[in-house]
Structure 1
Amino acid sequence: MGVLVLALLCCLLRAGTAAFLAPAGTRLGEEGGGGGGGGQGRPPWDGGGREKEEAAAALRESAKRIRLLNSSSKDNATAFYGINQFSHLFPEEFKAIYLRSIPHKLPRYIKVPKGEEKPLPKKFDWRDKKVIAEVRNQQTCGGCWAFSIVGGIQSAYAIKGNNLEELSVQQVIDCSYNNYGCSGGSTVSALSWLNQTKVKLVRDSEYTFKAQTGLCHYFGHSDFGVSIRGFAAYDFSGQEEEMMRMLVNWGPLAVTVDAVSWQDYLGGVIQYHCSLFYACQVSCCLLFMTMSPPGSIPYWIVQNSWGPTWGIDGYVRVKIGGNVCGKSD
């Protein structure tokens, strides 16, 4: 599934949040298990209130899948997988809830020569600039597409010298036309709606997240709102260095990727097997927030909207280069 890279121009874009390694869950496939991170000390997942037999069957399937994923890792630097908050779901259920971004065919990015370019920094992290909001949790709402663009807009607003505000995702879910709320949507359609209508996003405290699609509310007399004045969306296949330049020069990038195997992700750097079990790749909207290549494996740090107990406190690391998980398609 292709990747969607978005960079809002003029008025806004940039986003992300923080965390560092400490896997949240139990690792299967090796002695001693795993642990730590945002979910350290949590009890085993109990199936989320489902029928015990059904939850147990899903958990057994998860255990088999996790062992296979971990056995395919070639060294200790690669990603590792285990029991987490999604283990009680069958893969089809997980995809139906969390991988609901509608892909768009995008124009290929064509670089315009601008003379000699400055070398890229060895490490760059927008979190260091204090312009990244906390990891959010979409719960059972298939609104990852809305979380990614709102995260980008609120960080763009902060990068321009304003206070970092938590903007309303629910407003986009309820009001963006040509989308389906918590049943899925397109980042391009949502940004087009924001750009054409000049709708101002209000604070989350004014239009709070409900984890379900609701009636659209407009705030014509609100004393605060953030709008956009343009955006760009490109296919960066084979051009990850240009993605890095876009990240450094414009801010964090909203993308869609193949995230099927992320159901079981605990930590480490994903280098392959993004869709080990499925020929059909399913897109999920995320937010590229930083690039960080401190060791032998350079990687992107990606913010998700599955809450801070997933992955590395709500983040995932994906290898730079090789178009891993289709991130630059």
Structure 2
Amino acid sequence: VTPVKNQGACGSCWAFSAVGNIESQWARAGHGLVSLSEQQLVSCDDKDNGCNGGLMLQAFEWLLRHMYGIVFTEKSYPYTSGNGDVAECLNSSKLVPGAQIDGYVMIPSNETVMAAWLAENGPIAIAVDASSFMSYQSGVLTSCAG
């Protein structure tokens, strides 16, 4: 995987999850590990809400419909929304493609199915309801809602 990234004060976890998944699947397919751009999704994906949240499914669909599945490199389109501000979408003709997807698979929210998928196919893009540990400071989390 690429080094840990920081979304800062921006609700862009959806973009980080989608892009992290693409980075890992791209590397698993033999193309090498490339750091890809979360900012592309945060700024350009009009199906999601930038720093106000989004869904990985919509991010994958947006990439397929509007970008022919192309995700630009982090180097050519760096993350700038860590302060909560969303910059305008950059002109893609000046950006460097880093990976390309040709689809996605929806996996049921079933731990057994997810574990089997993970073992056979690698990383899964997920979202977590973090409301129960938003103010976490230290120690071991022991409560599990749901």
So what's the TM-score if we normalise by structure 1? Answer: 0.40
Give the match for residue 131 of structure 2.
260
* Cα pair 2:77 2:95 within 8 Å, conserved: no
Structure 2 letter corresponding to 1:234: I
Deviation at 1:192, TM superposition (A): 0.8
CA distance in 1, matches of 2:124, 2:41: 18
Deviation at 1:142, TM superposition (A): 0.8
Structure 1 letter corresponding to 2:98: G
Give the match for residue 208 of structure 1.
78
CA distance in 2, matches of 1:232, 1:265: 35
Give the match for residue 284 of structure 1.
none
* Cα pair 2:37 2:77 within 8 Å, conserved: yes
After superposition, the CA RMSD in angstroms is 1.9
Give the % identical residues: 33
**Which one has more relative contact order, counting CA pairs under 8 Å at least 6 apart?**
1
Count how many residue pairs are aligned between Structure 1 and Structure 2. 141
5 Å-filtered alignment, 1:19-30, equals none
The answer as to 2:87 corresponding to 1:217 is: no
* Cα pair 2:76 2:95 within 8 Å, conserved: no
Deviations 1:199-228 (A, max 9, x none): 421111111111121111132364533121
> Which structure: greater strand fraction?
1
Deviation at 1:266, TM superposition (A): 3.2
Distance 1:258 1:224, change over 3 A: closer
5 Å-filtered alignment, 1:77-226, equals 132-197=1-66, 198-211=68-81, 212-220=85-93, 222-226=95-99
Q: Secondary structure, in 3 states, of the residue corresponding to 1:137?
A: coil
Deviations 1:72-126 (A, max 9, x none): xxxxxxxxxxxxxxxxxxxxxxxxxxxxxxxxxxxxxxxxxxxxxxxxxxxxxxx
Deviation at 1:150, TM superposition (A): 0.3
Deviation at 1:136, TM superposition (A): 1.0
* Cα pair 2:44 2:89 within 8 Å, conserved: yes
User: Which runs of no fewer than 5 residues in structure 1 stay unpaired?
Assistant: 1-131, 275-325
Give the match for residue 230 of structure 1.
103
Deviation at 1:169, TM superposition (A): 0.5
CA distance in 1, matches of 2:25, 2:10: 25
* Cα pair 1:177 1:190 within 8 Å, conserved: no
Distance 1:195 1:161, change over 3 A: same
User: Which runs of no fewer than 5 residues in structure 2 stay unpaired?
Assistant: none
Deviation at 1:257, TM superposition (A): 2.3
Distance 1:159 1:258, change over 3 A: same
Structure 2 letter corresponding to 1:245: A
Give the match for residue 117 of structure 2.
246
